[in-house]
């Protein structure tokens, strides 16, 4: 799916163009108010496909500023310029540095904008006469590091001119390919391969089946439900869980909930639960996940589930429903930050204020709990009330921002919500210590200072007791 930034102060025109870009080009539209905001986003997402901008917003030389940025930061991002109150009346009147861009002087000609954008993105020239789809769709190159073959032909995209691309077949359907070739392209900065649009669903199903089978093959747990020593779980198992976890997050954000993405998600959640139910020693399992060669979002999800399950057992609340609820919450809580895992390390307003992040990053963090809840609501098979658990996992009732001690919102939450908030933050602090090292921090005391009240005291006391018991046994 192409990503398009649109800058147009005329709200009606912006909505008209955005609607038709979605309808005819199946694109993701990202509105921005000016060049400054657009450039801030480009610094985060340099792979934006296209910018549609009015010539000038207020006193800002919007098109010129964007041109300067694109010139200083070469990429494949293209630009279309729209006319406005203070813009040139004809293309020949455009400043020399902007003359190479497609220019639509009259806002009445919005159909020209859609048609030309379609051409730039590789759609058919007949885009306005029928709902068109790109001939090719991009697939992250990392996917091919985890496969041995593909179910469809795979292409490189070569830029041949300002508005022209050539697609060169690099992997034939069914062929076993050399992983060294993939690493070589990745080292050269390649981000995506391309596959035919009509093969996208088949490819997603193929990837899902392949990864589910790989995870099943790497699982050390007996099918009869018997327990094993967590020390004997091979590191390869956690690494495969990590791969599947991140592919699933990306596919859900790209395609939504399909039979393939649900199958992959279910297998990951099931394996995290099995690892807990069939491991004889939770402290060893926690250490194995913590020290595995896996990424932050997967580690945080699995570790949070381990800690939360231990507390549920101690509370006598480890019902199948509660376990399932927490398993889904651990998987989906940070899905909105899938492309920016470093932002998931922030769990308080104070940390956010000290971070010196851009306004766009602030928005991502402040809204990610709400965004995650919105995403899970589209999963028809997810447990009831899972959206509320994800919405409040930072202690904010509306999913915006973080816990406010002055409001003491935790008093309004149920036991499972409070448990999830505390376990989530416990693992954030645990991973922070692992990353920075130094003197061990009194994590339980940090949580008591942050969240302590009559509704959390029992959970914190049990958490402290369990950690001391595990520590003494080790």
Per-residue pLDDT of the chain (474 residues; tens, 9 = 90+): 788 999 998 887 888 888 888 877 878 899 999 999 999 888 888 788 999 999 888 888 999 999 999 989 888 889 999 887 677 877 777 788 888 888 888 766 777 888 888 888 877 555 555 544 457 888 999 999 999 999 999 999 887 766 577 889 999 999 999 999 999 999 999 999 999 988 988 999 999 999 999 999 999 999 999 999 999 999 999 999 999 999 999 999 888 899 999 999 999 999 999 999 999 888 899 999 999 999 999 999 999 999 999 999 999 999 999 999 999 999 999 999 998 999 999 988 888 888 888 887 888 899 999 999 999 999 999 998 999 999 999 989 999 888 877 666 677 889 999 999 999 999 999 999 888 876 666 888 989 888 887 788 889 998 888 777 655 555
Q: Report whether 347 contacts 399 (CB < 8 A).
A: no
CATH number of the domain enclosing 333: 1.10.3210.10
Q: Are residues 454 and 309 in the same domain?
A: yes
pLDDT score for 206? 95
Global pTM reads 0.73
Q: Are residues 258 and 282 in the same domain?
A: yes
List, in order, residues 6 or more apart from 366 with CB less than 8 Å away.
Answer: 352, 400, 401
Tell me the residue range of the domain where 148 lies: 136-198
pLDDT score for 309? 95
Q: Are residues 188 and 262 in the same domain?
A: no
Of 442, 397, 447, which is closest to residue 422 (Cα–Cα)?
447
pLDDT score for 132? 44
pLDDT score for 149? 93
Q: Are residues 188 and 82 in the same domain?
A: no
List, in order, residues 6 or more apart from 195 with CB less than 8 Å away.
Answer: 136, 137, 139, 150, 152, 153, 154, 155, 203
CATH number of the domain enclosing 9: 3.40.50.2300
- Taking CB atoms within 8 Å and a gap of at least 24, the contacts of 182-190 are 182/141, 182/144, 182/145, 183/145, 185/141, 185/156, 186/141, 186/142, 186/145, 190/141, 190/156
pLDDT score for 115? 84
**Overall size of the chain counted in residues:** 474
Start-to-end Cα distance in the chain: 50
Q: Are residues 54 and 88 in the same domain?
A: yes
Q: Give one DSSP letter per residue of 287-319, joined into a string.
A: HHHHTSS--HHHHHHHHHHHHHHHHHHHHT---
Q: Is residue 204 part of a domain?
A: no
Q: Is residue 128 part of a domain?
A: no
Q: Is residue 129 part of a domain?
A: no
Question: What are the distances in angstroms from CA 94 to CA 55, 63, 89?
Answer: 10, 11, 9
Q: Are residues 303 and 338 in the same domain?
A: yes
Q: Are residues 35 and 155 in the same domain?
A: no
pLDDT score for 469? 65
pLDDT score for 279? 92
Pairwise CA distance, residues 412 & 397, whole Å? 9
């Amino acid at each position: 799916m192409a990503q398009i930034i649109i800058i147009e102060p005329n709200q009606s025109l912006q909505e008209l163009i955005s609607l038709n870009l979605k309808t005819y080009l199946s694109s993701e539209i990202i509105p921005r108010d000016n060049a400054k905001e657009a450039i801030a986003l480009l610094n985060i997402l340099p792979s934006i496909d296209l910018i549609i901008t009015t010539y000038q917003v207020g006193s800002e030389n919007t098109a010129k500023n964007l041109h300067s940025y694109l010139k200083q930061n070469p990429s494949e991002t293209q630009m279309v310029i729209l006319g406005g109150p203070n813009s040139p009346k004809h293309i020949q009147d455009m400043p020399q540095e902007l003359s190479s861009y497609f220019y639509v002087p009259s806002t009445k000609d919005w159909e020209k904008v859609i048609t030309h954008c379609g051409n730039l993105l590789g759609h058919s020239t007949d885009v306005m006469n029928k709902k068109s789809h790109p001939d090719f769709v991009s697939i992250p190159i990392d996917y091919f590091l985890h496969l041995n073959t593909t179910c469809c032909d795979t292409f490189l995209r070569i830029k041949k001119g300002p508005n022209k691309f050539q697609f060169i077949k690099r992997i034939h359907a069914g062929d076993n390919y050399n992983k060294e070739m993939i690493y070589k392209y990745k080292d050269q900065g390649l981000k995506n391969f391309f596959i035919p649009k009509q093969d996208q669903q088949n490819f997603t199903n193929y990837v899902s089946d392949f990864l589910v089978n790989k995870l099943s093959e790497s699982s050390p747990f007996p099918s009869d439900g018997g327990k094993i020593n967590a020390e004997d779980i091979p590191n390869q198992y956690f690494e495969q869980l990590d791969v599947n976890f991140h592919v699933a997050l990306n596919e859900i954000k790209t395609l939504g909930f399909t039979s393939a993405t649900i199958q992959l998600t279910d297998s990951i959640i099931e394996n995290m639960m099995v690892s807990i139910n069939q491991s004889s020693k939770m402290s060893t399992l926690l250490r194995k996940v913590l020290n595995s060669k896996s990424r932050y979002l997967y580690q945080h999800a699995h570790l949070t589930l381990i800690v939360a399950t231990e507390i549920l057992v101690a509370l006598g609340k480890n019902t199948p429903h509660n376990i399932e609820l927490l398993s889904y919450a651990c998987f989906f809580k940070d899905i909105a930050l899938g492309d920016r895992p470093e932002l998931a390390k922030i769990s308080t307003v104070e940390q956010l204020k000290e971070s010196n992040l851009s306004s766009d990053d602030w928005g991502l963090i402040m809204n990610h709990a709400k965004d995650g809840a919105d995403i899970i609501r589209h999963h028809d098979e997810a447990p009831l009330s899972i959206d509320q658990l994800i919405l409040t996992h930072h202690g904010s009732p509306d999913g915006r921002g973080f816990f406010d001690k002055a409001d003491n919102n935790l008093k309004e939450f149920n036991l499972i919500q409070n448990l999830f908030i505390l376990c989530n933050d416990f693992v954030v602090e645990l991973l922070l210590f692992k990353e920075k090292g130094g003197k061990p921090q009194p994590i339980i005391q940090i949580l008591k200072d942050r969240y302590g009240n009559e509704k959390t005291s029992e959970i914190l006391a049990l958490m402290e007791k369990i950690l001391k018991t595990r520590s003494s046994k080790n």
